[in-house]
């Protein structure tokens, strides 16, 4: 979530904002320190606090603070803008926030473009148009991105009016670029509590590889599947002539699975189908899911980080049912 603050510095300064945060630190000598490292004396704070909120004070530079706290000066009208990006969990609770000062043009652009966010480098990015390095992303545990692709996982509970409860799972991988190696990739999930193979409701299973010019579906009992009481994985041979790849696997379990872990592993060299399936499920494996035997087979894959999700009453994205 992004928010734009407008602070009008007039004879009296008002703040229009969607949130209030007191980020000023009180020093032993009675002065204050802002989150930007600017120091405000007790006398300066007394003057400033009559004109603006602590949120407004916190985003000002030392030069601006010194100027605005001078009671003798006739302050000319000016506008000060800031942009805040909130990071929320899947229940809508804000877990962290990031605020930067902004120009009027930047503030207006955020109002018009919902894809503009403040990332960890303290800069504004258009997350729809830019390929964002993974180090700049504020991502929940159920999503992991690199500069080339993204994997997401959702696992939740459905409670029907009939009293029936079941547990949908969806994992999907999306490419931002076109992979140079097209071999046998693996999309898989594992869970923490052993469940019978029949726990997965057969007619809910769907695994698909999609791209710009072709689609391929896979079945629960097909030759590309690895299925045990602790997880399932699907091997997908990427199309040779295709772009805009999206791969997904979804199903509904009859019983809770505990915590669910997911991974998408891209082959960085030519891999046989039989080699791609030479794994069991465990936390020490690729993405916290795939334990290859022999272990050297893991070197054929890119080792992309995994994701996990704990049971909730709502899905994280694009509810499949």
Tens-digit pLDDT profile for residues 195-244: 999 999 999 999 999 999 899 999 999 999 999 999 999 999 999 989 99
Which of the listed residues 82, 97, 126 is the one where a domain comes to its end?
126
Decide which of 311 and 226 is more confident.
Answer: 226
Taking a C-beta distance cutoff of 8 angstroms, is the pair 84, 101 a contact? no
**Domain, as residue range, for 111:** 2-126
Output the CA–CA distances (angstroms, integers) from residue 189 to 67, 109, 259, 264, 317, in the order listed: 58, 40, 10, 9, 17
Grouping H, G, I as helix, E, B as strand and the rest as coil, residue 210 is strand
Digit-coded pLDDT (tens) for 267-310: 999 999 999 999 999 999 999 999 999 999 999 999 998 999 98
Digit-coded pLDDT (tens) for 54-108: 777 877 778 777 877 776 554 544 567 888 887 665 555 666 677 888 888 888 8
Task: Indicate whether 104 belongs to any domain.
Answer: yes
- Find all residues with CB under 8 Å of 183, minimum gap 6, and list them: 237, 238, 267, 269, 270, 271
304 and 255 in a common domain:
yes
108 and 197 in a common domain:
no
264 and 176 in a common domain:
yes
pTM (2 decimals)?
A: 0.63
Scanning 116-258, the segments in alpha helix (DSSP H) are none
pLDDT computed for residue 133 by the predictor:
62
Average pLDDT over residues 17-26: 48
Taking a C-beta distance cutoff of 8 angstroms, is the pair 255, 194 a contact? no
User: Residue 16 — very low, low, confident or very high, per pLDDT cuts 50/70/90?
Assistant: very low
96 and 233 in a common domain:
no
């Amino acid at each position: 979530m992004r928010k734009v603050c407008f602070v009008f510095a007039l004879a009296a300064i008002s703040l229009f904002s969607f949130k209030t945060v007191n980020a000023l630190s009180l020093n032993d000598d009675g002065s204050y320190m802002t989150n930007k490292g600017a120091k405000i004396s007790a006398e300066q704070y007394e003057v400033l606090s009559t004109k603006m909120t602590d949120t407004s004070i916190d985003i000002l530079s030392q030069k601006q603070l010194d100027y605005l706290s001078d009671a003798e000066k006739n302050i000319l009208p000016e506008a000060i803008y800031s942009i805040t990006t909130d990071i929320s969990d899947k229940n809508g609770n804000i877990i962290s926030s990031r605020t930067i000062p902004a120009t009027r043009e930047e503030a207006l652009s955020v109002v018009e473009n919902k894809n503009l966010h403040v990332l960890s480098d303290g800069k504004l990015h258009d997350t729809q148009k830019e390929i964002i390095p993974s180090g700049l992303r504020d991502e929940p545990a159920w999503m992991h991105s690199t500069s080339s692709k993204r994997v997401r996982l959702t696992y939740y509970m459905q409670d029907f009016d009939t009293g029936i409860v079941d547990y949908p799972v969806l994992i999907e991988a999306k490419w931002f670029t076109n992979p140079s190696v097209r071999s046998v990739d693996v999309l898989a999930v594992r869970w923490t509590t052993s469940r019978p193979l029949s726990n997965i409701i057969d007619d809910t299973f769907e695994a698909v590889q999609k791209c710009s010019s072709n689609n391929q579906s896979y079945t629960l009992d097909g030759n590309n599947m690895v299925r045990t009481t602790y997880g399932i994985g699907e091997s997908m041979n990427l199309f040779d002539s295709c772009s805009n790849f999206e791969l997904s696997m979804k199903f509904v379990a009859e019983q809770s699975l505990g915590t669910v872990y997911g991974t998408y592993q891209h082959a960085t060299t030519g891999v046989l189908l039989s080699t791609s399936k030479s794994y069991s499920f465990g936390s020490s494996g690729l993405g916290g899911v795939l334990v290859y035997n022999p272990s050297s087979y893991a070197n054929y894959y890119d080792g992309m980080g995994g994701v996990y999700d704990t049971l909730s009453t709502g899905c994280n994205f694009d509810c499949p049912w």
